[in-house]
Structure formats: structure tokens, C-alpha cells
């Protein structure tokens, strides 16, 4: 799967006490995943992801500075799905462990985020299926500690292909 990441950071200041919401910045993501289980309504999904996130900071002189971060992440989701005739809508929820590959702000190397997503798998009578999904990804722990403390949140839109194992290329028939 591949897609876009629209992210921003919230900066929490100690002196003076306050919060500054930064501007959104559009970046990208890419991931490979494995879907486990054969229950019609519940599956477990594990995913390896490379994600570029960031934010735009408006300086006092009116100029804009971009802060960019690159992450390798291990994502795990409970998938709740409903098999229908032409589509399989689903929801995903679960934690992510993110590792900072590079950062302009000296972010913590590891931190935890959550993810809540929804998607659609288009039924295909072959081993390749088209999928699309959207995720909301808020930090559960601080990405950066100092003054300011930083928490990020992002929106991800993804498209991709799912390759089914032999015997899974056709949806099941209810009797």
C-alpha cells in the first residue's frame, strides 16, 4: 500500500504555559501487511510501514519553516469487517510502535501512537484485490520532551493491492 500523510504537531510550552497548533504538512507513506485469520468478521493485521510526517511552523516574520520526520513503524490492528456482494467494508483499531529514522527536532527514537481507520476491499474473483483506507493517527506518548513538548497527529489515505492465498480468491457462500 502507498498513500499520503497529512500531519501536524501540537507544541506544549512550559514557559509561558500554552499550546500552539502547527500547520498541516502533506507527506507520504508506504507499507506492507499481513492479514491473519479466516473469520468472516474479525481479523488481525500486522504491518511494517515507512512514514514521512511533519508540520509547518509560522514564524513571527510571516515565513514558514517545515519540520520533517521519517519513521519506520510496526502497526497492529484488530480488523472488523462485513462481507458483502461487491465490497467488504472494514474498520481497524490498534497501536503502533514508531521508530524515528531521521528528525530535524531530535525526537525520541521510540514512541507509541494509536490508529483508527476504515477501508473498503473490492471483491475480485482472483487472487488480487484492490483496497483503500483512511486512518487517524494520534500520538499516545510524547514525540519530543522539552520546551515545547510535542505530540503529533496525522491523517493517512492509502491505496493498495491485497494478494490472497490460494482458496481465498472467492468470497464464501452462506448456506
| In a domain? residue 170 | no
Q: From first to last of the 175 residues of the chain, give the pLDDT tens digit.
A: 999 999 999 999 988 889 999 999 999 999 999 999 999 999 999 999 999 999 999 888 989 999 999 999 999 999 999 999 999 999 999 999 999 999 988 899 999 999 999 999 999 988 999 999 999 999 998 999 888 999 999 999 999 999 987 655 455 555 5
What is residue 170's predicted lDDT score, i.e. its pLDDT?
Answer: 52
Domain count, the chain: 1
| In a domain? residue 175 | no
Instruction: Say how far apart CA 155 and CA 53 lie, in whole Å.
Output: 10
What is residue 91's predicted lDDT score, i.e. its pLDDT?
Answer: 98
What is residue 106's predicted lDDT score, i.e. its pLDDT?
Answer: 84
| In a domain? residue 124 | yes
What is residue 118's predicted lDDT score, i.e. its pLDDT?
Answer: 98
What is residue 165's predicted lDDT score, i.e. its pLDDT?
Answer: 77
What is residue 104's predicted lDDT score, i.e. its pLDDT?
Answer: 83
What is residue 92's predicted lDDT score, i.e. its pLDDT?
Answer: 98
| In a domain? residue 101 | yes
| In a domain? residue 172 | no
CATH (domain of 82) = 2.40.160
For residues 54, 144, 51 and 62, what is the CA-based torsion angle, rounded to 10 degrees?
Answer: 0
| In a domain? residue 32 | yes
| In a domain? residue 171 | no
| In a domain? residue 168 | no
- Its domain, for residue 72, covers 2-163
Q: Which pTM does this prediction carry?
A: 0.87
Amino acid at each position: 500500500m502507498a498513500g499520503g500523510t497529512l500531519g501536524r504537531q501540537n507544541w506544549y510550552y512550559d514557559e509561558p504555559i500554552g499550546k500552539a497548533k502547527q500547520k498541516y504538512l502533506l507527506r507520504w507513506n508506504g507499507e506492507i501487511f499481513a492479514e491473519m485469520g479466516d473469520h468472516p468478521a474479525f481479523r488481525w493485521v500486522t504491518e511494517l510501514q515507512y512514514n514521512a510526517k511533519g508540520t509547518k511552523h509560522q514564524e513571527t516574520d510571516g515565513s514558514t519553516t517545515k519540520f520533517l520526520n521519517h519513521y519506520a513503524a510496526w502497526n497492529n490492528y484488530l480488523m472488523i469487517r462485513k462481507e458483502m456482494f461487491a465490497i467488504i467494508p472494514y474498520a481497524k483499531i490498534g497501536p503502533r510502535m514508531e521508530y524515528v529514522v531521521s528528525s530535524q527536532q531530535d525526537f525520541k527514537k521510540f514512541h507509541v501512537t494509536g490508529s483508527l481507520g476504515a477501508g473498503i476491499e473490492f471483491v475480485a474473483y482472483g487472487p488480487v484485490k484492490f483496497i483503500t483506507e483512511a486512518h487517524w493517527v494520534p500520538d499516545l506518548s510524547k514525540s519530543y520532551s522539552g520546551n515545547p513538548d510535542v505530540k503529533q497527529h496525522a491523517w493517512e489515505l492509502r491505496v493498495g493491492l491485497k494478494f490472497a492465498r490460494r482458496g481465498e480468491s472467492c468470497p464464501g457462500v452462506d448456506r
